[in-house]
Amino acid sequence: MYTAELIKGKTYSVMGHVFLLNQVKDIEKKVFQYLDGNEFFDCKQLDDPADDSKTDDQPKEDEELAKEEEEPAQEAKIYTESELKGMNKTEQEAIVIDFGGDPTQLKDKSERIAFILEHQQQQEKTGE
């Protein structure tokens, strides 16, 4: 079992998880591997890693790790305006933070949506 705690910022959204400051959440191994080493998180592995190292499973684990390492490049989700309108404030703020913005500087839902759409377009143009 793995846990992650957001220790910097207010909210953070990644791989279907929305983290709030100082909130410890149980996460999957894939999310743990993605967040471990991120200065915004305190990540912990709570189970015994010896259980994962069975020789029969090793080739399968290696294949899974290779797939997981490729996925962060595919993480750039493109949000539509209607998707963003359907999200709650916390989810929108997490996306704003992902784009390097400060949600406290945005007054309302429409400003958050405009910020996200604008930064998505900039990312598409720069190819990031």
pLDDT in tens, 66-88: 554 444 444 567 889 998 999 99
Distance linking the first and last C-alpha atoms of the chain: 32
From residue 118, give the alpha-carbon distance in Å to each of 11, 101, 124.
Answer: 20, 12, 10
CA distance 7 to 13: 14
SS3 of residue 32 by DSSP:
helix
**Which tens digits make up the pLDDT trace of 12-37?**
888 888 888 898 999 999 889 889 88
Q: Cα Rg for the chain, rounded, in angstroms?
A: 17
pLDDT for position 72? 46
